[in-house]
Amino acid sequence: MLLTATRSSPLVFVGGKGGVGKTTVASALAYARAAAGQRVLLVSTDPAHNLGHLWERSFGDEALPAVEFDTGGVDALEISPEATVSRHLAAVSATMREILPERMHRQAAAHLELARNAPGSHEAAMLERVADLAQLPGADYDSVVFDTAPTGHTLRLLSLPTQLGHWVDTLIDNRERSERFANALQGLMPAEAPRRSPRSSQLMNTLHTRRERFARLAAALSDRERTAFVAVCVAEPVPVTETIQLADELAAARIRLAATVVNRRTPPALDGDRAAGEAAQVARLASALPTSGMCEIGRQPGPLSGLAFIAGVAQHLG
Amino acid sequence: MQRIARNWRAFRDGLSQFYHGPYRQTLAREQRTEDDFFTLIVLGEALGVPDPAAYYSMELMPFLYRDFHAWHRRMGMPRSPLENVACC
């Protein structure tokens, strides 16, 4: 069910409340796609990464192979916001050295260092990487599966491209007005008006590059063909309520909720009362979200990590 | 003859100043207002205004340093408001 519901989407975001099994579902989905012959990149955007724990491997900011099949395979990476911020700072420093006189280098570098720890920097760095990785399907990978942070963080991350798009628009409008005044001034007094420096067009290029990147990501996220969101929960009242709210917020953000996954269902033979309570919650979820598919995964016996466990869960995705 | 030409040119420039001057001042002021607003947004985080886009405004900073001194003077701050940038 989960595989068919998300089949057409090269970008899949797996989200939900903390501790419901997002990493397990994302990994099993990546595994199942790879077993069917795809090259899949599995990416953790949760700052408290646990892909490594689940696969019993150690992953990092660069993609490493997690499992290989005859034709397909899974590579995994855990985004490091610190590393991304460092790379960004290095790039900015390089631009700075190009355009500033040498005596100002030290001051400007000290000032940039402050931005390293500005609130929101890590979040923005995470977004930057997601934007880069979202471009990958079609090139090195057939699809990218994101194992995301708990609901609130993820919704905010997904709404950032639109918000930051407005921010860049404001700045570009401002620069265009400034340039219009400069041009008018030059027309009036050709000899006296100051010439616009090449820096000004470099600045404009930077802003336009940013605008395009935000716009491209926002478009990819709301493209129902390309992006699917999978909401994971367990069959308990609070997680189910949160999933229903998540569905509303995704609809508002125009992101397609392809399927919900109800994880860790109790078999009736094990605990009849509990299983009945869970069934009531599953029914509530199904009636609230009639259009998205639902996939139920039973409580798994044995160790809850390692390749055999992931492959076992992948069997239940259908 | 040359003197007449010189005087004529001076007279013409004077007229041009007389007619264009006010417009030029307005245009220059409007442009400066736009530029100052831009600087304020980009340096917001450093000045203590939380900027959700700090990570992205960082890459615009290099373009501002040269005019930074004139900017903080215009904003009514006689000394540099940034601890690390001692331009004066």
* Residue B14 banded pLDDT, cuts 50, 70, 90: confident
* Residue A202 banded pLDDT, cuts 50, 70, 90: confident
DSSP letter for each residue of B46-84: TTT---TTHHHHGGGGGGTHHHHHHHHHHTT-SS-SSTT
Residue ranges covered by each domain of chain B: 2-74
The residue among B74 and A13 whose pLDDT is bigger is A13
Interface contact flag, A115 B55, Cβ < 8 Å: yes
B4, pLDDT greater than 60: yes
A240, pLDDT greater than 60: yes
Interface contact flag, B84 A164, Cβ < 8 Å: no
- CB nearest to B35's CB, from A107, A178, A199: A178
Q: What's the rounded mean pLDDT across residues A74-102?
A: 90
Rounded CA gap, B36 and B52, in Å?
A: 20
- Say yes or no: A92 contacts chain B, CB-CB below 8 A: yes
What local confidence, expressed as pLDDT, does residue A54 receive? 96
Interface contact flag, A119 B56, Cβ < 8 Å: no
pLDDT digits (tens, 9 = 90+) for A27-76: 999 999 999 999 999 999 998 899 999 999 999 999 999 999 999 999 99
Phi, psi (degrees; rounded to nearest 5) at A51: -55, -45
- CB nearest to B60's CB, from A107, A178, A203: A203
Rounded CA gap, A178 and A288, in Å?
A: 51
Angle, CA of A152, A154 and A158, to the nearest 5°: 120
Rounded CA gap, A247 and A270, in Å?
A: 31
Q: What's the rounded mean pLDDT across residues A178-200?
A: 74
Q: What is the ipTM of this complex?
A: 0.79
- CB nearest to A120's CB, from B20, B28, B54: B54
* Residue A192 banded pLDDT, cuts 50, 70, 90: low
Q: Which residue of B has its CA nearest to A184?
A: B27
Rounded CA gap, A264 and A316, in Å?
A: 11
Q: What is chain A's mean pLDDT, rounded?
A: 91
Interface contact flag, A188 B66, Cβ < 8 Å: no
A195, pLDDT greater than 80: no
Set A46, A75, A142, A147: catalytic member? A46
Q: What is the pTM of this model?
A: 0.87
pLDDT digits (tens, 9 = 90+) for B16-42: 778 777 888 888 899 999 999 999 888
Contacts of A192 in chain B (CB under 8 A): 24
Phi, psi (degrees; rounded to nearest 5) at A12: -125, 130
User: Is the Cβ–Cβ distance between A172 and B60 less than 8 Å?
Assistant: no
Q: Which has the closest alpha carbon to A89: A108, A61, A69?
A: A108
